[in-house]
Amino acid sequence: MNHENAVRPCAEADALKLVQSLRALDAKQLLQAAVERGLTFGDCINAFGVTREESAFVRAAQRAPDDDIEFDDLTVVARSERGAFVHCWHFVSNAAAGIPEPSEMLEELLRFASSIEQPQSMRLQMLRGAMAQVMEALEDQLDELEGVPCEVSPMRIEFGPYALDVLPSALVIELVNGAKAKGFSPVLAEALLNWIEHQGNLLDQLAAEMFVAAA
């Protein structure tokens, strides 16, 4: 018996069912399904974008002098009656958006965590204590992290009779996620998680240096 031929009808039937199910979805439902399966905004730009060689509007937009505006290699163009709108990335600083410095956001996070109604879990109390210890050790350096990313092992952070073996970046993430579930500002939560995404490793490096020096 040819097993390859035996399974082919099943595979074809499954493919036909998939096509039929996709046809039953409208464009928005298809897009949502694609997002759930990993579609990114970059994928959409690659699908709809054009190059500067293909569009006079892209070339004209890229010639406009503005250090705060960037263009992708493939850029989406929406034509209008007298011209076109060209997709770009306009940089907006944290300060312009009213986002505080990381040290201020961490202080607000600790204040919020302290205000959560009792009884608080032992884990939350330990996270708060460890975060307070990190902030005390690093002081004003939190807002000016610099360096090159490298591997950092979890460190022992001692506070009172307790101790945690953890990376400060992981500490911030756990505190933010727990506080967000209790009503912490989603704006500050996003800003803190973004800070950790970009500078978490530098935070861990600085903390490791400080705690080793203090040991």
* 12-52 pLDDT, tens digit each: 665 666 566 666 677 788 888 888 889 898 898 988 999 99
What's the pLDDT tens digit per position in 87-135? 999 999 999 999 999 999 999 999 999 888 666 678 888 888 899 989 9
The arithmetic mean of pLDDT across residues 160-189, rounded, is 92
The residue with greater pLDDT, 23 or 203, is 203
> What single DSSP character describes residue 64?
S
Backbone angles phi, psi at 145, to 5 degrees: -75, 130
| 3: confidence class by pLDDT, cuts 50, 70, 90 | very low
Amino acid at 178: G
Backbone angles phi, psi at 120, to 5 degrees: -90, 145
pLDDT over 70 at 4, yes or no: no
pLDDT over 60 at 8, yes or no: no
Backbone angles phi, psi at 153, to 5 degrees: -90, 150
CA geometry: angle at 45 spanning 70 and 78, to 5°?
A: 80
The dihedral of CA 120, 124, 126, 130: what is its sign?
negative
45: Cβ contacts below 8 Å, ≥ 6 apart:
72, 74, 75, 76, 87
What is the C-alpha separation between 95 and 174, in angstroms, rounded? 25
Cross-strand bridge partners of residue 166: 155
Amino acid at 64: A
The structure tokens 């937009």 sit at 61
Tokens representing residue 2 in the block: 């040819």
63: Cβ contacts below 8 Å, ≥ 6 apart:
none
Up-side HSE of residue 207: CA atoms within 13 Å toward CB?
Answer: 30
Residue 188 buriedness (CB in 10 A; 0-12 / 13-18 / 19+): buried
Radius of gyration, alpha carbons of the chain: 25
| 1: confidence class by pLDDT, cuts 50, 70, 90 | very low
Q: How many CB atoms lie within 10 A of CB 134?
A: 23
| Residue in 123, 174, 134 with CA at minimum distance from that of residue 157 | 134
Query: What pLDDT sits at residue 177?
Result: 94
